[in-house]
Chains A and B, each alone.
Chain A
Amino acid sequence: MASITQYLFKRILFLVITLIGASFIVFMIIHLLPGDPARILAGPEATQQEVEILRHKLGLDKPLAVQYVDFMARLLHGDFGRSIVTDKPVGELITYRFINTLKLSVFGITLSAIIGIPLGVIAALNRNKWIDQAVMGFAILGISTPIFVIAIFLMLVFSVKWHILPATSVTGNIGFEQLILPGIALALYGAAPIARMTRASMLETLTQEYVRVATSYGIPRRLVIYKYALRNALIPVVTVIGLIFGYLLAGAVITETVFAFPGLGRLLIDAIFSRDYPVVQIGILFVATTFALVNTLVDILYMLIDPRIRVSGGSR
């Protein structure tokens, strides 16, 4: 049991270190850009007086280490600064968009897994037969079709032609209906790598000795596949799912653009183009934090799926 707590402890420590690292990088963005950090944060339109006021307020005239501590203190208090372009508090701007992206990403990745894993299993079980080719063909199609093609296609079919699903949210309310089309677009895109990894992993697992041993013991094949082999095969699949989820979180910019979805991806891109650095900083921080959390969760999930990790404390 000590090894479980040890493992957990290690992972959480690693998470904290990652978060500190991310916050440091985000903090340094302003200081690494050419020019005066206070001017960069105030924007090209501010008067020199306003720049000096901001410089003092944010402590940009103090030593770098002190500045970093101030920065972290402000972050932990929820003070994320103000947008240069609209002068609205960054927290307000980002939270709404981030929650939307979160909803969309969770929906998308869940759907991806629901589509991808079974397809991968079916392909593996019917290796080299026509069903396998078909599934892998679908996977290649999914990976190589540009996502905006999938997105526009969905919009054309379900909104324009059939009028059964909204193409965008006009009222700002992101409910289940508004998530469906962009979610499917993301899911079709993400299901492909999941299916491929599941298939490859299943195939590898099925050749393992313990599978043959179990079968020779007379355990029903179905039990062998779904209870024993699949669980092990899922480990690398969980990694892929974690990675894809991270990608979705960073904001599936193209999907968001096509569906005019108020998500984080578009916010970040817009902020970069309009040189709205406070928004860029905090946006990146949100994404990095969530990604680190998700990966930690994935690692903890490993522990649940693979008893070997539990016992040996982390090495496989």
Chain B
Amino acid sequence: MHRGISKTISGIILLLIIVGIVAGVYMYQSGGGGKQQSSSSSPSQTATAATKDTLVIAMGTDIVTFDLHDASDNPSYMVGRMIYEYLVDLDQNMKIKPGLATSWDIKDNGSVWIFHLRKGVYFQDGTPFNAYAVKVNFDRLLTHKLKRSSLFTPFIKEVKVVDNYTVEFDLKKPFGAFLYHLAHGAAAIMSPKSIQNGDPKTHPVGTGPYMLEKWVPGDRIVLKANPNYWNKAKAPKFKEVIFKIVPDDQTRMRLLQSGDVDVALRIPPQYVKELNQTNGITVYVKPTNRVIFIGINNLKPPLNDKRVRQALNYAVDKEAIIKSVLFGYGESATSPIAPLTHGYCKAGYYKYDPDKAKQLLAEAGWKDRDGDGILENAQGEKLHLTLWTPRGRYVGDYEMAQAVQQYLQAIGIKVDLQVWEWGSYVKELFKGPNQTNRELFLIGWAPSTGDADWGLRPLFYSKMWAPHGANMWFYKNPQVDDLLTKQIQLLGDQRLQALCQAQKLIYDDAPTIFMVVMHDTFGVKDNVKGITYLPTEIVVFKYAYWEG
């Protein structure tokens, strides 16, 4: 009798398993797999979904610190921007707007800048915002060796308090990009009390609409509204803003679909369409000022030959890569800097032309002499290069490197691909010319000031060769050096002209393969409004609000 019972039970269990698997597969097909029809998966409220009081944002990496004077990572700047404010602001087109300073005067051809400060502003700890507070902040940047001091110490001589609401910056020399440095995330204005007695690293005090409630490293950051925010017209609309750290790319977007979060940052390009078609969610694709390069070691033969480097540029079909790896979310680089970087001008375009590439290589002495498909020089040495790449640091980085490998092999260059863990990679790339064997390496750069100076000088000025600066390709062109030095002190059109000339020279010299200008993606529930985007890869949630 028991055998009969155990048989029945087993039968039922088995049936449930089979039904479960079949149903599950069906669900997957219509719910999340491949072709998506808009429809059923509209995010509604689950038990833990955000209410209108709380805004929940899913981001991929945790912040490093709240001390923005000492931070170099985007998450820290993005979250910090809710808490701190700046003397001047950037709008979505990278134009300078008044911030905590309402107006400014430029004297002495750009050596003296006088800022008139906003009245009636208080820090979150009650300290008043005034010229003294500004001086304390910049003195800190100038005298303490913080990560971001180098954005200020080369240019600022002294900061003077003229009166309670007027502050004067005396520069060492005229500096055309000065306002962009003041708008940089690192120039956050912190409460002098927190600088002198507090700990800005973990207890930030700013003038912004939100304050830190709690930071659980690796998990989430909880901000609460600042009831005394000075800008009454733009008072914080949420009681709480939670930044939840979700490292997995797919999970982030699924959380948006499930309703667990209201915003999901960095959507993998292959999911953008599906997510956008989901009811109640919109995906925004925004051009950034980040350029992806395949760096070339300009000192190592045969890469020291300009023709070879140009050949590499002609050999890669960037448009095709953008279409297939980035699903169209990107654009070919037509300059060492992105179009949205202040000072950009179109420097050229290496159109995909494998024949021209082969021709240039032939001129440089590289031909396929023995018919094996790989180019050799007159001495019979094969053209064999190593391509380094990180994986998961930039969207599609590894896949782009793979594609580049294929294109180069197609014109007869044997390429070995090597993947690096990011921490070690950065260390390696900043090694100097005598310490490294690197040949080709994928790397991105986004000038966080939004200005061309920071996009060109650290990368292409010969005195900035690694390890001193980010000239990881050991590029040197005295003409370019001259222009880059000159433009620092120029203003207006004169400066733009010098910058443009420099860009054209650099582009022609091809110290790198100029690949792609990246586009950033983020998904937002349609009820959430008021989000803006800065091309320096910062999503601004400061003035976000809930509608409906």
> B17 and A134: CB pair below 8 A?
yes
Q: Is A168 an interface residue (CB 8 A)?
A: yes
Query: Within the assembled complex, what's the spacing in Å between the Cα atoms of A85 and B73?
Result: 13
Q: Could you tell me the distance between the alpha carbons of A156 and B253 in the complex, rounded to whole angstroms? A: 11
Residues of A close to B242: CB separation below 8 A: 170-171
Known: A87-B201, A260-B248. A160 touches B258 (CB 8 A): yes
**Interface core residue of A97, A166, A266 (most chain B CB under 10 Å):** A166
Take A161-B41, A274-B423 as given contacts and tell me if A153 and B9 are in contact as well, using a CB distance cutoff of 8 Å.
Answer: no
A172 CB-CB contact with B under 8 Å: yes
B7, B17, B65, B423: the one within 8 Å of A273 (CB): B423
A163 close to chain B: CB less than 8 A: yes
Within 8 A of A (CB), among B220-251: 220, 222, 242, 244-248, 250-251
Interface-lining segment among B102-110, B211-219, B310-318, B368-376:
B211-219
B47, A166: Cβ atoms closer than 8 Å: yes
Complex alpha-carbon distance, A172 and B56, angstroms: 12
**How many chain A residues have a CB neighbour from B under 8 Å?**
49
CB-CB contacts below 8 Å: A30-51 with B: none
Q: Is the CB of A152 within 8 A of B247?
A: no
Q: Mark B46-88, 1 if CB is under 8 A from A, else 0.
A: 1110100000101000101100000000000000000000000
Are A166 and B46 neighbours in the complex by a CB distance under 8 Å? Answer: yes
Q: Convert B29-43 into 0s and 1s, putting 1 for each residue whose CB lies closer than 8 angstroms to a CB of A.
A: 011100000001101
Residue among A126, A160, A178, A222 making CB contact with B31, cutoff 8 Å: A160
Does A93 sit at the interface, judged by CB under 8 A? yes
B103 to chain A, nearest CB (A): 38
Q: Give complex CA distance A246, B393 in Å.
A: 32
| B286 in contact (CB, < 8 A) | no
Q: Are A153 and B24 in contact (CB under 8 A)?
A: yes
Q: Is the interface of B mostly helix, strand, loop or mixed?
A: mixed
> Could you tell me the distance in whole angstroms from the C-beta of B146 to the nearest C-beta in chain A?
10
Contact, CB under 8 Å: B28 / A153: yes
Q: Flag if A159 contacts B247 (CB, 8 Å).
A: no
Is A96 positioned at the interface, with any CB of B under 8 Å from its CB?
yes
B216 touches A262 (CB 8 A): yes
Residues of A contacting B257 in the complex (Cβ-Cβ under 8 angstroms): 159-160
A221 sits at the interface (CB 8 A) = yes
Question: When chains A and B are docked, how far (Å) is the Cα of A165 from the Cα of B255?
Answer: 11
Contacts of A169 in B (CB 8 A): 48
**How far apart sit A257 and B44, CA to CA, in the bound complex (Å)?**
24
- Interchain CB contact under 8 A, B219 and A172: yes
In Å, the complex CA distance between A211 and B159 comes to 92
State the CA gap A50–B441 with chains docked (Å).
35
Complex alpha-carbon distance, A29 and B257, angstroms: 43
Q: Mark B188-211, 1 if CB is under 8 A from A, else 0.
A: 000000000000011000000000
A168–B244 contact, CB under 8 A? Answer: yes
Residue pair A166, B13 in contact (C-beta under 8 Å) = no
Given A87-B201, A160-B258, A161-B40, A168:B217 Cβ within 8 A: no
With beta carbons under 8 angstroms apart, the residue of A97, A138, A156, A221 that contacts B254 is A156
Chain B hits for A55, CB < 8 A: none
Q: Which of B2, B10, B48 contacts A170 (CB 8 A)?
A: B48
Q: How far is the CB of B268 from chain A (nearest CB, A)?
A: 13
Residue-wise, chain B 404-427 has the 8 Å CB interface mask toward A (1 for contact) of: 000000000000000001010000
29 contacts between A and B (CB under 8 A): A83-B217, A86-B202, A87-B201, A93-B218, A97-B219, A119-B13, A122-B9, A126-B6, A131-B14, A138-B17, A152-B250, A153-B24, A155-B258, A156-B31, A157-B24, A157-B27, A159-B257, A160-B32, A160-B257, A161-B27, A166-B48, A167-B254, A167-B258, A168-B244, A259-B251, A260-B246, A260-B251, A267-B218, A273-B421
Q: Which residues of A contact B (CB under 8 A)?
A: 83, 85-88, 93, 96-97, 119, 122, 125-126, 131, 134-135, 138, 152-153, 155-157, 159-161, 163-172, 177-178, 221-222, 257-260, 262, 266-267, 270, 273-275
Binding site for A on B (CB under 8 A): 2, 6-7, 9-11, 13-14, 17, 24, 27-28, 30-32, 40-41, 43-44, 46-48, 50, 56, 58, 62, 64-65, 201-202, 216-220, 222, 242, 244-248, 250-251, 254-255, 257-261, 421, 423
Besides A161-B30, A169-B48, 10 other CB < 8 A contacts? A152-B251, A160-B32, A160-B257, A167-B254, A168-B260, A170-B242, A170-B261, A177-B48, A262-B218, A262-B220
